[in-house]
Amino acid sequence: MSAYDVASFLSAIEELNQRYPPLPQNQVKDYAFPQVPASQLAAESTPNFSVRDVASPSIQQADTQQLRVSPFITKENEVHWHPRPLSAVEIEFELSRTRWFVANIQELYRTIQRFGKQSDKGKDAASQVRLLYITYRRYFGRVFRINDLPLEILVSIFRLIADPITHSNLDIQRRNAITSVCRHWRSVALDDGTLWGILRFSKPVAYEQCFEYFKRAKSSPLTVHVSDTPEEALTVETARSLTERLFTKLPCIRVFRAIVQQPDTALYFMRSLSCIGEQGIPTIMERLEIIQKTVRPAAQANLNHQPVVLFGGAYLPSLRHLGVGGLPVNFETCVLKDLDTLELSWMFVGDSPAVFQSVLRKSPNLSKLSLDNAGPRSPPSCRGPAPVSLPRLETLAIVNYGLEYTLFILSQFTAPNVVELNLCQIHTREPSRIFDQLVGKFPAVKSLTLNCFAQVVRLEDGPSIAQWLRTMPLLVYLRLVNVSENFLLPFLYDAKTLRLPTSNVPLNIKHSICPKLKYLEIHYSSPMKMPTTPNIPNWFLHRLTLGFPLWKCFIDSDTLDTLGPDKLNSLKEALGKTRTSLYRLTPSDRPIEEQHLLGRG
């Protein structure tokens, strides 16, 4: 750098110091940078560092959570910085500071590689890198010329910001924010129809905003979500006014979801789609869900109205996801083929098992099947047709059945490749009969959820449970909701003898029950409480003794709050001995470990 450059740089700094004086010394002490353990450092450090590396979130997700700056720091930064066109002096200063950041971070990475990340110098350098990342990310937007990017790249960035995949209300705020930054952004965003294709009709006050997005979407594919609340239930008249405007772009609707309170309203949405077949309207619809939220007996829900023929009898080659709840559907005349997901609740599927099996047989590539009190009107007393083979089924949920009907449903199909199995609200006083039916039926299960058998699992059922569990050797994640603690005991059995081992020595993996089990999630809701005996803490200790300890234990907040200090300390002590981490869950949490296990993370 020449003497002239140095003088210019110093004069620029002097001018900026006069215009934006630094904070008083006593305020700097209030900055609370998070203390990040050195063990959290990324596994690898690349010496080829660049500005692209600094700008991108290259640190692992676990580290990113540690790097969040306190709200005070962010607020102070916002007070002293307002987006505006920069002068030549300011641009030169920001670029010089950027080069300084890059050079220092690059040198710190060399230090880590030279001395090792476990050395004192390596740990100190890692901490400094993190602080520089935190600081640099606050300034990066001042030097990155985003408006000079090609339009197609800028549009892609906007789509990532809106992130419609999450289907949350946050994407609405983000889309509105994008159009409020500058004229260029607003022009680019309004010209991109795909950015406005998510429509959420949740409250009447938001309808006009949704229809404004509807106009901006132009001919782009649409995702329509309609919902209501018990306090403001959607009426048939309102539903009619919505469909009259929405269905002017019916060929563009790719996803249509209506989850409403009133059965007449849900039925209207379903019947309104009959125009597809009656008028020969082409459509790209891939997903249809129409669900009446008010739970009623299946017989009442299906007999009060004339069954509806979906889409007026037309076949939709694009349809892959169908969800229907509490509504009468004429499955004998519907043309449903090649579905990926089928979710049925509180409804009859024909008058005989043959109709139910026909629905399954036409979708041999079905990957998800959810049955909530849904099936044939009355199962036959004699043996029915051969089970349908569903070799690609990965997720199965069976909910709200009695004992006999559960056994009947399980006999209607075979699915040896199910990896996620959910059994919920199975009403029976003889759970051993269900366990016997499940033996060997789902050998590939990795995630098992049980929300049943609250008070009926007895110690005598242990051998039946163990016989079933040993046919699921790949089980990794277990979720128990209101399940008797007696269900856990068979996990300690010898798989050969189906009894507890005679000595506390590590078991051979061939003799173990679910040797890959690593995660346990526990929920107990009112009126049930988590058992007050020490059996659950001891269970973790016994799994360690057998040589198969668990990695993590998840317990929901309500359950943890019901534990007394003594019991909670006992649980923590046991988990500490087994090196099992304890996590508190909120009702909406779905641990990322399970998502990764199922390939969804």
Q: What's the mean pLDDT when you consider all of the chain?
A: 81
Q: Which residue has the tokens 């366990």?
A: 435
439 pLDDT band, cuts 50/70/90, is: very high
Extract the tokens encoding 473: 């050797």
Q: What is the per-residue pLDDT for 452?
A: 80
Q: What is the per-residue pLDDT for 57?
A: 36
User: With 80 as the cut, is the pLDDT of residue 471 above it?
Assistant: yes
Measured in whole angstroms, how far is the alpha carbon of residue 276 from the centre of its chain? Answer: 32
> Rounded to the nearest 10 degrees, how much is the dihedral formed by the CA atoms of 484, 486, 491, 495?
-130
d(CA 195, CA 192): 6
Q: What is the per-residue pLDDT for 431?
A: 85
Q: What is the pTM of this model?
A: 0.77
Instruction: Read off the pLDDT of residues 321-333 as tens digits, 9 standing for 90 and up.
Output: 999 998 999 998 8
The DSSP code sequence of 222-256 is: EEEEEE--STTPPPHHHHHHHHHHHGGGGGGEEEE
Give the dihedral sign, CA 127/131/132/137: positive
The DSSP code sequence of 466-485 is: HHHHTT-TT--EEEEES--G
Q: What is the per-residue pLDDT for 41?
A: 30
171 pLDDT band, cuts 50/70/90, is: confident
**H or E stretch covering 145:** none
User: With 60 as the cut, is the pLDDT of residue 147 above it?
Assistant: yes
Q: What is the per-residue pLDDT for 294?
A: 75
d(CA 354, CA 116): 67
Which of 154 and 485 is assigned the larger pLDDT?
Answer: 154
Residue 326: phi and psi, rounded to 5, are 70, 20
Residue 401: phi and psi, rounded to 5, are -135, 155
One-letter amino acid for residue 318 of the chain: S
d(CA 483, CA 422): 13
Reading phi first (left if > 0) and then psi (alpha if -120 to 50, else beta), residue 326 is in left
Q: What is the per-residue pLDDT for 15?
A: 56
User: With 70 as the cut, is the pLDDT of residue 65 above it?
Assistant: no
d(CA 439, CA 153): 53
Q: What are 450's strand-pairing partners?
A: 423, 480
Q: How many residues does the chain have?
A: 601
Instruction: Read off the pLDDT of residues 200-227 as tens digits, 9 standing for 90 and up.
Output: 998 888 899 999 999 999 999 999 999 9
Give the mean pLDDT of 91-105.
Answer: 86
Query: 431-438 and 403-410 are packed helices; what angle lies between their axes, rounded to 10 degrees?
Result: 0
d(CA 507, CA 500): 11
Q: What is the per-residue pLDDT for 58?
A: 37
Residue 27: phi and psi, rounded to 5, are -80, -30
Instruction: Read off the pLDDT of residues 497-515 as tens digits, 9 standing for 90 and up.
Output: 888 887 666 667 777 899 9
Q: What is the per-residue pLDDT for 553?
A: 93
Q: What is the per-residue pLDDT for 17?
A: 53
Which one-letter DSSP state was computed for residue 448? E
Instruction: Read off the pLDDT of residues 517-546 as tens digits, 9 standing for 90 and up.
Output: 999 999 887 655 665 555 788 899 999 988
User: With 70 as the cut, is the pLDDT of residue 118 above it?
Assistant: yes
Instruction: Read off the pLDDT of residues 396-432 as tens digits, 9 standing for 90 and up.
Output: 999 998 888 999 999 999 999 999 999 998 888 888 8
At a CB cut-off of 8 Å and minimum separation 6, what does 388 contact? Answer: 357, 360, 361, 412, 413, 414
User: With 80 as the cut, is the pLDDT of residue 380 above it?
Assistant: no
Q: What is the per-residue pLDDT for 470?
A: 94
Which range, of 50-64, 92-106, 555-569, averages the lowest pLDDT?
Answer: 50-64
Q: What is the per-residue pLDDT for 77?
A: 47
d(CA 494, CA 475): 16
Measured in whole angstroms, how far is the alpha carbon of residue 538 from the centre of its chain? Answer: 32
- Asked if 388 contacts 357 with a C-beta cutoff of 8 angstroms, the reply is yes
User: With 50 as the cut, is the pLDDT of residue 37 above it?
Assistant: no
Instruction: Read off the pLDDT of residues 7-19 as tens digits, 9 standing for 90 and up.
Output: 554 555 555 555 5
User: With 50 as the cut, is the pLDDT of residue 32 above it?
Assistant: no
d(CA 192, CA 170): 19
Which of 231 and 296 is assigned the larger pLDDT?
Answer: 231
Percentage of the chain with pLDDT > 70?
79
User: With 90 as the cut, is the pLDDT of residue 270 above it?
Assistant: yes
CA distances from 250 to 53, 222, 288, 493 (A): 44, 9, 13, 58
With b for 16 or more beta-carbon neighbours within 10 A and e for fewer, the 535-557 pattern comes to: ebbebbbbbbbbebbbebbbbbe
One-letter amino acid for residue 231 of the chain: E
User: With 80 as the cut, is the pLDDT of residue 356 above it?
Assistant: yes
Which one-letter DSSP state was computed for residue 258? E
User: With 80 as the cut, is the pLDDT of residue 579 above it?
Assistant: yes
- Taking alpha carbons only, the member of 63, 62, 30, 65 closest to residue 129 is 63
> Rounded to the nearest 10 degrees, how much is the dihedral formed by the CA atoms of 19, 20, 22, 26?
110
Query: 535-545 and 565-578 are packed helices; what angle lies between their axes, rounded to 10 degrees?
Result: 10
Residue 290: phi and psi, rounded to 5, are -130, 115
Q: Is 183 exposed, middle or buried (0-12, 13-18, 19+ CB in 10 A)?
A: exposed
Q: What is the per-residue pLDDT for 526?
A: 61
Extract the tokens encoding 314: 């037309």
Q: What is the per-residue pLDDT for 531?
A: 58
